[in-house]
Amino acid sequence: MSQARDSVPAQPTRPTAGRFGNPVSDPPPQDRRIGLALSGGGGRCFAQIGALKALEEEGYHVDAIAANSSAAVLGALYAACRDAGELEAIVQGIDFSSLLVPDGSTGLIGHEGVDALLADFAPDTFEELEIPLAVPTTDIERAELLIFREGLLRPPVCASNAFPGLFAPVEYLGRHLMDGGMINNFPVDIIRTMTPRPVLAVDVRPSASGPLDLDRKTPASLLGKVGALFDHGASTTVDILMQAYSITQTRLIEIMLAMHPPDVWLRPELSSDFDVQDFSRLDEAIEIGYRSVGEAIASGRFTALAGRDPR
């Protein structure tokens, strides 16, 4: 399996303080190396791009990444380039409707779009990434959690992004794989096995409680609009499915966080109406994620990420 690397690429000369006033030249770079756990959250995961931008400005170096669902796609792209600005540019150029093309035989959404995106901007294998990456997936037939850290990159990432009932399973290594979030949507436990460095967990999951506009006639989300092409009332079905999924995941993650607490648990303040299926608020989400790091630094929460002896 892939192991966390001890070397850090040479960094360009940078100012003595980040945008938030936090000194970046005093501690040696190795004291700002962190493990990063990224929750799933659909379009809300764009906030994680903003968090990465702020982390880079403040001199933090990501030592390893564990990411699930939509964050697995972002995590793979970032692990390939180690540059949040480049990641932002890639995502801004995506036509998200092209990623949601239903399969003609099943009606479920295929993976051709995400596969092509990764083929353009990421290497073929986990081993070729700049940053070690772990991606949870679920074997839908055997009810098993499979964690990929080596071998081909695109099949596991596409599988981790495959929300049940909407995306088709990915056939890989004799398995039918889907969203790892069914079992672990916030891999704070996995990142601890990858690096001895302090762990920052960026959590963009929606609240498990909230009103559903069940009388809405026009689908609000991109997935709802796709579903409406095939079945009257599908947008309401999608909303209910997503809410039920969120309720179940919240209870599982509460247990996971109690057993494997991160050093810093960062929850960008995305509004309750920011739907996981909303891919149109990219810039807003990035800014919110960016600010969340600044606010955490200003409040002193990032002192928990101070370098520790990894021995």
Write out pLDDT tens, residues 157-170.
999 999 887 889 99
> pLDDT higher for 165 or 269?
269
Nearest to 185, CA basis, from 211, 165, 206: 206
The tokens describing 247, both together, are 């309720």
Residue-wise pLDDT for 17-59, tens only, equals 444 444 444 444 557 899 999 999 888 999 999 999 999 999 9
Residue-wise pLDDT for 187-221, tens only, equals 999 999 999 999 999 999 876 555 556 555 555 55
Is residue 196 packed enough to be buried (19+ CB in 10 Å), middle (13-18) or exposed (0-12)?
Answer: middle
pLDDT the model gives residue 48: 98
Phi, psi (5° rounding) for residue 201?
A: -110, 120
3-state secondary structure of 182: helix
